[in-house]
Structure 1
Amino acid sequence: MRNGWRRAAYAAACSLVVGLLSVLPASPAAAATGQISGLAGKCVDVAGASTANGTAVQLYDCNGTAAQQWNVGSDGTIRALGKCLDVSNNSTADGAQIHLWDCVGGANQQWVVTAARDIVNPQANKCLDVSGNNSANGTRLQIWTCTGAANQKWTAPATGGGTTPSGFVVTEAQFNQMFPSRNSFYTYSGLTAALSAYPAFANTGSDTVKKQEAAAFLANVNHETGGLVYIVEQNTANYPTYCDWSQSYGCPAGQAAYYGRGPIQLSWNFNYKAAGDALGIDLLGNPWLVQNDAAVAWKTGLWYWNTQNGPGTMTPHNAMVNGAGFGQTIRSINGSLECDGRNPAQVQSRVDAYNRFTGILGVTPGANLYC
């Protein structure tokens, strides 16, 4: 396409996956340990300080014992007494009870502590909740649809949500939850290293807008790469077609060197030239940097997001920070093929990912989701 963005082919016929897949790390990575307090100033407590699987997790007067010492890990777990905070029976239903269980790395043991002080289970997209809004000692904890009420607000020793030391509004634990089967090439550190190239990205407006923009970028990336699996375009037959010899600089890396690469599949010699010039990197001469250097790959995605209108009328960054909505980011990335009823299934795929990611970040998706 003339806008220079080829979509990775993930149809069943395309079975090649470039590189190995990484999985969510199983080992705990401590952020901090301490009490988690909530309704009426009481603490999250393991009943009887028991370490048996299935032990109730409850609200209780804060007493500083080991039954109230919780490790909020950057791996997404919350642990006490060597075991994990767990949603009973892997349920996603309102009222599903919380108990202690062996740490097994399941989605029902993943939690995000948001900047708004919610503790969210992303699988259920529900909040840790004090049953019946009852502050009596021994009241069971459960998950429930997030309401913002006092019985869902917590003060934790450290957050699995909010901002990271890098300043990015998506933590590594949240990133891993968004992309549990991502290719090991697409590192979180590569993404955060790329942020300095475009400091306004996910750093403009309210905390909600910042998180919505981050979710919108990552949702589109998710669609373009099959869940951060594909590094390069899968249809190799297209590779020789991305050289525009009418450009004065030609194609110094070769006729077939400018195929789609990276999180938004940068393609065509003129896009490699423009992105490289903007980033101070010779991508025209060495386009392979986009598939070999994670930070460079992420920078090319952020270059497009923050500076290019594509087939739309605004940059995706401006669409999110100025309230135009997620649908306009789709239009700017691939609107000529997907928007206005051309491919509603592809649009829905992007919207579904955006809804899922805003849920992980604990914010509403906003309006105007479709194009």
Structure 2
Amino acid sequence: MNKQKTAALLSGALAAAGLAVMVPSTSTAAAACAAPYAASQVYTGGMSASYNGHNWNAKWWTQGETPSTGGSGVWADQGACGGGGTTPSPSGTTQACNHPVWVAGTNYTTGSIVKYAPNGQYYIATHDNPGYDPTISTWYWSPYTCTGTGTPSPSPSTTTPNPSGFVVSEAQFNQMFPNRNSFYTYSGLVAALSAYPAFANTGSDTVKKQEAAAFLANVNHETGGLVYIVEQNTANYPHYCDTSQPYGCPAGQAAYYGRGPIQLSWNFNYKAAGDALGINLLNNPNLVQTDAAVAWKTGIWYWMTQNGPGTMTPHNAMVNGAGFGETIRSINGSIECNGGNPAQVQSRINSYTSFTSILGVPTGSNLSC
């Protein structure tokens, strides 16, 4: 979209909200420079810095990456700048800096102004929207500088907690999986949490969110964005019956194919997961593709209890600081790690980076395996 059209849309949105707007023309002087970039500073989505005569906006969490149009792509060039200070607020916006803290999932109308607690900055809704994250959904939110004085916005600790008790809100979940199959419900995921209370509930708030992001990133990769419920290669179905097991395959030789968010497969895994969860999955493996809560429980069961081809459970990898890369090793081992399939590893890392950004936390170290 060209700059003139973008400016016209923003102008119309703000005008509809009764707010004046100053749209710079192509002939005006360069904008004032933001605070100089500092390598030691943590920048989260929406934060600005000036570097080499240009202003730059961070798209997500970053530290130590010099602003440029290359690298990881975290920096967006805002054009040449000059002088000191920060870009002024749109003219006419003289309201005090006491706007409410943004709450995920809340419906906001055009012109609403909120404070985003993770980075302390203010945003204005350029379109009606259902509470999408201001630092991610740039179509719905625009950075805003408030003026005047007033009572500060409530601190994050005084905001209403997510009613589900999960560190990922339903709005954030929907943002992570915009094309998901309706089978994979948020309510099913929340219902599954009771099976393993330590899941995404161990350590600091940052660690909890990192673990949730890591789990959902691997799930995203395994299911094509929560699109696939069952394994797509039907030719593999008869191969998942280990006849050496004393209990055999009572549901049929071809009944133990991959299902659910972590693609549970093999008769012995259905037996182990079912025993742990108190569900007879050995005889009723179809529950994993017909009951959303059961499906999510099998994914969390693997995450919390199985080392797989790795050296630790994915849960332990995240809460003990081993890093996201070790969760990949626990799921697919040498098939992907140690150079086995770097493209698949990078796909998982990209999802994890995106999801931690949505949750407003850093990725941590050791992303690859």
Q: Does 1:176 align with 2:174?
A: yes
C-alpha contact 1:125 1:359 (8 A) present in aligned 2: no
1:13-58 deviation line (CA, Å, top 9, x unaligned): xxxxxxxxxxxxxxxxxxxxxxxxxxxxxxxxx8896189999694
1:317-360 deviation line (CA, Å, top 9, x unaligned): 00000000000000000122100011000000000000000000
Q: Does 1:50 align with 2:50?
A: no
C-alpha contact 1:258 1:269 (8 A) present in aligned 2: yes
In structure 1, the residue matched to 2:299 is 301
In structure 2, the residue matched to 1:209 is 207
d(CA) in 2 for partners of 1:214 and 1:302?
10
d(CA) in 2 for partners of 1:323 and 1:47?
49
Give matches, 1:1-371, under 5 Å: 50=18, 58=93, 60-61=95-96, 74-75=104-105, 77-79=107-109, 83=110, 85=112, 99-103=124-128, 110-112=131-133, 120-123=134-137, 131=145, 135-136=147-148, 154-155=153-154, 163-371=161-369
Q: Which amino acid aligns with 2:239?
A: T
- Residue 121 of structure 1 deviates from its aligned partner by 2.2
d(CA) in 2 for partners of 1:198 and 1:320?
15
C-alpha contact 2:101 2:154 (8 A) present in aligned 1: no
d(CA) in 2 for partners of 1:158 and 1:127?
23
Q: Which amino acid aligns with 1:366?
A: G
In structure 1, the residue matched to 2:27 is none
Q: CA RMSD in A?
A: 3.6
Pick the structure with greater CA Rg: 2
Q: Which amino acid aligns with 1:336?
A: S
d(CA) in 2 for partners of 1:247 and 1:162?
50
- Residue 188 of structure 1 deviates from its aligned partner by 0.3
d(CA) in 2 for partners of 1:286 and 1:155?
50
C-alpha contact 2:240 2:265 (8 A) present in aligned 1: yes
Distance 1:252 1:48, change over 3 A: closer
Unaligned runs of 5+ in 2: 1-13, 24-89, 114-121
d(CA) in 1 for partners of 2:17 and 2:142?
20
In structure 2, the residue matched to 1:9 is none
Q: Which amino acid aligns with 2:132?
A: W
Considering Cα pairs closer than 8 Å and 6+ residues apart, tell me whether 1 or 2 has the greater RCO: 1
d(CA) in 1 for partners of 2:94 and 2:209?
30
- Residue 102 of structure 1 deviates from its aligned partner by 4.3
1:250-295 deviation line (CA, Å, top 9, x unaligned): 0000011000000000000000000000000000000000000000
Count residues in correspondence. 282
TM-score (ref. length: structure 1) = 0.67
Q: Which amino acid aligns with 2:135?
A: N
1:153-210 deviation line (CA, Å, top 9, x unaligned): 9538999x98522211000000000000000000000000000000000100000000
Distance 1:154 1:315, change over 3 A: farther
In structure 2, the residue matched to 1:145 is none
Unaligned runs of 5+ in 1: 1-45, 87-96, 113-119, 138-152
d(CA) in 2 for partners of 1:212 and 1:162?
21
Distance 1:342 1:59, change over 3 A: farther
d(CA) in 2 for partners of 1:274 and 1:298?
15
Distance 1:259 1:358, change over 3 A: same
Query: Going by fraction, where is strand more abundant, 1 or 2?
Result: 1
The percentage of aligned residue pairs carrying the same residue is 67
d(CA) in 2 for partners of 1:278 and 1:356?
32
